[in-house]
Structure 1
Amino acid sequence: MSKTYRATGINLKSMPLGETDRLLTILTREHGFVRAVAPGSRKPKSKLGGRSALFVVNELLLSRGKSLDRISQAETIATHSGLSRHFGILTASQYLAEIALAHTLSEGVKSELFDLLTEHLNRLEQLPKNAALSEVLSRLVHGTFHLLALEGIAPQVYACCVSKHPIVPEIHHPNWQVGFSIRAGGVVTLAEFDRLKLEQMQQWNATWEDDREAIANRAAYLPTPNRYLDATELTLLQQLSQPQLSPTPPLAQIDRAWITLERLLREYAQHHLGRSIRSATLMNSYIASAAATPLSTSTG
């Protein structure tokens, strides 16, 4: 096997190593994730300094090592510098990078993950500097859903996870709702939740007969939704599987819907990926700040 190889990669994680080096985690189109040393990149005049920054895409020449590879050459083809113009956009980018880093790559998914992540980062970068909260969150949630779908764990949103019957949101009914169950893997009608509860209660009655206290103590284990979604929220959720989102006006109810969906997919992703999303803390700060200010008039 050759000691050197070439790859196109985007820097997703960086940490200091030694006195002047950096250790990078790079998602490459050809080889998946690579952990490589960028030698001397922390020196003031290092050629690898800017090329080892987060979200920079480089054409790389790497040397194989026993535990870590080493960057011999790097030519930058994209910097994604626009991601840092806006706190929310930068946070959303870091959030998507974390989800990408959680992927377990199979042989055929390496290039797809690289292309999918860079596509959604490009969409975030194209947002204006005064982007509205709904614009940032919609792109974040859209990217999250697509990354989960590539991993094969996207939630089911078009049909009830239990009955398998299609669910069509009733936009003209203000009180219409559907449940979402993280464990079940997506949306579940309220009628199905009621049926499951009834079945569980009947089983407990058969087991404990007249022991009301035992049944009451088990009430917390009855099937219940993690969240309830209204018709607008489910309509937006169902759009996420599409390549492009339909434009939505920057209205307060749309902001609230995207906040709900971000938190829902965050909880879902953390459960199914088995790890927390550290950028979520910064995302909470951004949402709190942006939701407290007047809505931007930008439409992207």
Structure 2
Amino acid sequence: MMRLYKTDALVLRVRDFSEADRIVTLYTYSRGKVQAIAKGSRKTKSRKRGAVQPFTYGNFLLYQGRSLDTITQCEPKESFSHLREDLVKLAYSTYLTELVDGFTAEGEPNEQVFLLLLTTFYLLLKDNPGLLVRAFELKLLNILGYCPQLESCVHCHGPVAGNAAKVRFSSRLGGVLCDECSGHDPFATTIQMGSLKTMQQLLKWDIRRLQVLKVPEERQQEIAAILRHYIDERIERKLKSTVFLDTVLQ
């Protein structure tokens, strides 16, 4: 196996390692999540400095190590600097990268995850961040096999009454419940049927088409709360970025 490899990657996270170096968490096109050291990248004149900023999309040449790879060369393709300069977009982008980091394991390539994150970064430069992020959450969960069941009852797999005004959603069981099965989770949340239908649309639609979807703010907030609780159940920890995001959006 060749220890030197080249791949496109997105920077998920960066942390200082020493006076001169940084540890970079990359999500690569060919190898999935990778931890790598960027030697000298904290130095002002380092060529690597710009390429290892959070959210940067670039082409990386890495040397595979036992526990930590080494970035030997990096060429940025898109810095996504606007995502770091706008506080709301910074908060959302940080949340997206922590989601990917939290739901993926090292060395498990998934081209769909890479392309979803890259596309969402481009769309964040112009689109409604809230609705876009809701679509990202659902699509990421779907790709990785964690998607909530939205089309039929998660317990009996029967139909959910389409003419009802409201429906029960169980984060613990993993989806919607029909009237007959609603007692199987006393902590299930009641949501508007319109919110469920919007979630179905967000999951099915091409993420690049979302600008034509008009969703009331109240419904967006309900979907955000449902998915927050659902994700917390699956990832089994509180994401640090949600505190920053909530503070910014207040």
Common fold, TM-score beyond 0.5? Answer: yes
Unaligned runs of 5+ in 2: none
Letter in 1 for 2:142: A
Q: Name 1:295's counterpart in structure 2.
A: none
Letter in 2 for 1:56: T
Residue pairs, 1:224-239, within 5 angstroms: 224-239=186-201
1:169–1:232 contact (8 Å) kept in structure 2: no
CA distance in 2, matches of 1:108, 1:35: 12
CA distance in 2, matches of 1:105, 1:59: 21
Unaligned runs of 5+ in 1: 128-134, 197-222, 289-300
Q: Name 1:90's counterpart in structure 2.
A: 90
- What do the CA deviations read for 1:15-56 (whole angstroms, capped 9, x no partner)? 001111111011111111111111111111111111110111
1:158–1:168 contact (8 Å) kept in structure 2: no
CA distance in 2, matches of 1:238, 1:3: 43
Which deviates more, 178-187 or 85-94?
85-94
> Which residue of 283, 287, 291 maps to 2:245?
283
> Which residue of 233, 239, 247 maps to 1:271?
233
1:61–1:74 contact (8 Å) kept in structure 2: yes
Q: Name 2:62's counterpart in structure 1.
A: 62
1:273 Cα offset (Å) = 2.2
Q: Name 1:74's counterpart in structure 2.
A: 74
Which deviates more, 70-79 or 232-241?
232-241
Larger Rg computed on CA atoms? 1
Q: Name 1:201's counterpart in structure 2.
A: none
Give the total of aligned pairs: 247
1:150 and 2:143 are equivalent in the alignment: yes
Letter in 2 for 1:78: E
Give the RMSD, CA atoms, in angstroms: 2.1
CA distance in 2, matches of 1:227, 1:32: 35
CA distance in 2, matches of 1:106, 1:18: 23
1:107 Cα offset (Å) = 8.0
1:167 and 2:160 are equivalent in the alignment: yes
Which deviates more, 48-57 or 107-116?
107-116
1:169–1:234 contact (8 Å) kept in structure 2: no
1:105 Cα offset (Å) = 5.1
Q: Name 2:203's counterpart in structure 1.
A: 241
Check 1:169–1:124 CA distance in 2 against 1; reply closer, same or farther (3 A cut): farther
